Chains A and B, each alone.
Chain A
Amino acid sequence: MISRRKLIGSIGLGAGGLLLSGCDRLDGSPAFRGLLRSSEGLTMRAQRLVTDRTALAREFSEADMSPVFRSNGTAMPGTDAYRAHLASGFRDWRLSVDGLVDRPMLLSIEQIRAMPVRTQITRHDCVEGWSAIGKWHGVPLKLLLDAARLRGAARYIVFHCADRFGSSPYYESIDLVDALHPQTILAWGMNGAVLTVPHGAPLRLRVERQLGYKHAKYVERIEAVASLAPVYGGKGGYWEDVSDYEWYAGI
């Protein structure tokens, strides 16, 4: 009986081992990864099919806010240019809005702060699994894009950032469904104060219906494009390019 139990046990372990090494081998196969990846498009289309594309993310009250809102990713961009901007209080810093727009713009942080402000208390969800609730102050992205007169061919908005991972710049992108959404803002303030460096000073994206890595920090250039393929690695974002994270991070 014991030997039979042992036999069954080792068969179980063997099958488990085979399953696991099989999964790792499949994981290394580009064809299989492509198959898994195809579910991303299915998920995005299904979510947008069954839900209201303009639905607002829940906004919370001050009492619901996280006591401490941790930062993630870059805590201090390492370039000389950024250090110089920080030292001068971003006096000479400019946000460039360009690409497929009729009126490219260069805006100072004072000009951006003078635009209509939207304040929202929302939940930030990291892809790792944690959540934090904070208050954000910023200009709706739609106002900037309207002022720059987006061209008809524009399909994506790319956010170029000041922080570098090795030699690669951080960047992210969203489509127009999210870019024109009322809660999608370029935030210059957080929790009633000016945005701090770990949270992306002087300007960061809030795209409330997607995961944290889409919320690009240290944004210095906004580019309207027709396709993401020619931009850096072609997958629409830094983490998408280097680690195969989903471009659509709505789940």
Chain B
Amino acid sequence: MASAQPAVSGPAETRPLLVNRHRLGTRIWHWVNALTVFVMLMSGLMIFNAHPRLYWGQYGANFDRPWLSIGSDGTHGFVEIGDRRIPTTGVLGQWRGDDGTVQRRAFPGWATIPSRYSLSGARRWHLAFAWLLAVPLLAYLTASLLNGHVRRDLLPTRDEARPSHVWHDIVEHARLRFPRGEAALRYNVLQKFAYLGVILLLLPLLVLTGLTMSPGLDAAWPWLLDLFGGRQSARSIHFICAMLILLFIVVHLLMVLLAGPVNEIGSMITGRFRVPPEREDAP
């Protein structure tokens, strides 16, 4: 989400270099999403709680075989994936509510909106905030494709996409050695993959699979059903993409913390980024 402009020339060792890193559009979209994605995730988990089973194909209900289910056998909570049953008592399937009572729902109250079971309440939140997710996404995607943001800042160069370069970046990240100086002004290749994956793949997939669950839109646009292999497949893909978004958020927040939260968060608010000076021991 950078639109790095040429660094201001100046002696880096005397005062920190400040550059304009994020455009206003990127910053607004980021913070709208920060709110919207959380509401969508948490209200979505509540909607899942109404029927905590996932299927592949056109249909799927209680007498059909799910590929994933979350439930309780009466004494233990579990997640079942295929034939494998993983005990999850206390977190998923069976947990204690705020008042100490045992609850037998898939996702616990602290992870859902509303925190007490309400399918209609969660749908109100989910279907309202869906607009706040989808419309800015469409606007941002269109603008970023037209103004070159995707090509300039997000698409890896041929050089960056080489396996040896990607591997090098993975090793550097694992050693918590993040790019500094000039290199910190560009996204590294792992960031590019992550951001492209979210913006071009996960978010559009979430919107499209969400629309595929609409019986009204399925009638008008039956190609949605063909694209995803049925409404229940779309529901499964919707859930998987949501979990991948959750994974992205966890890694994203971790990286912000490790890279210097004040500078990183500040740059996403003001747009101004303080360039970390080159390492003394830089090769």
**What B residues does A23 contact at CB under 8 A?**
39, 42, 113-115, 125
Given A39-B128, A244-B120, verify A20-B110 contact (CB < 8 Å): yes
- A92 contacts the other chain (CB 8 A): no
CB closest residue in chain B, given A38: B128
- A102 contacts the other chain (CB 8 A): no
- B16 contacts the other chain (CB 8 A): no
- A56 contacts the other chain (CB 8 A): yes
CB closest residue in chain A, given B231: A131
CB-defined interface of B25-68 with A at 8 Å, one 1/0 digit per residue?
00000000000001100100001101101000011111110000
Closest chain-B Cβ to A172's Cβ sits at a distance in Å of: 15
Interface contact B61-A131, CB-CB below 8 Å: yes
A46-97 residues at the B interface, CB under 8 angstroms: 47, 50-52, 55-58, 60, 64, 66-70
**What B residues does A114 contact at CB under 8 A?**
none
Give the CA-CA distance A163 to B199 in the complex, in Å: 48
Give the CA-CA distance A67 to B60 in the complex, in Å: 10
**What A residues does B216 contact at CB under 8 A?**
47, 51, 209-210, 250-251
Give the CA-CA distance A50 to B138 in the complex, in Å: 16
Give the CA-CA distance A58 to B217 in the complex, in Å: 11
Total number of A residues with any Cβ neighbor in B under 8 Å: 53
CB-defined interface of B117-156 with A at 8 Å, one 1/0 digit per residue?
0111101110110110000000000000000000000000
Total number of B residues with any Cβ neighbor in A under 8 Å: 47
Contact of A127 among B42, B50, B231 (CB under 8 A): B50
Closest chain-A Cβ to B213's Cβ sits at a distance in Å of: 7
Binds A, one of B189-197, B219-227, B267-275: B219-227
- B235 contacts the other chain (CB 8 A): yes
Interface contact A43-B219, CB-CB below 8 Å: no
**What B residues does A69 contact at CB under 8 A?**
61
Closest chain-A Cβ to B45's Cβ sits at a distance in Å of: 12
Given A33-B124, A37-B124, A251-B216, verify A19-B38 contact (CB < 8 Å): yes
CB closest residue in chain B, given A60: B58
Interface contact B38-A125, CB-CB below 8 Å: no
**What A residues does B221 contact at CB under 8 A?**
51
Interface contact A24-B114, CB-CB below 8 Å: yes
CB-defined interface of A23-40 with B at 8 Å, one 1/0 digit per residue?
110010000010111111
Which residues of A are interface residues toward B (Cβ below 8 A)? 8, 16-17, 19-20, 23-24, 27, 33, 35-40, 42-43, 47, 50-52, 55-58, 60, 64, 66-70, 123, 125-133, 208-211, 239, 243-246, 250-251
Q: Can you show 29 pairs from A to B with CB atoms below 8 A apart?
A: A19-B38, A20-B42, A23-B114, A24-B113, A24-B114, A27-B114, A33-B124, A36-B124, A47-B214, A51-B220, A58-B222, A60-B58, A64-B59, A66-B63, A70-B63, A123-B215, A125-B231, A129-B47, A130-B60, A131-B59, A131-B61, A133-B58, A133-B59, A209-B218, A244-B120, A244-B124, A245-B120, A246-B127, A251-B215
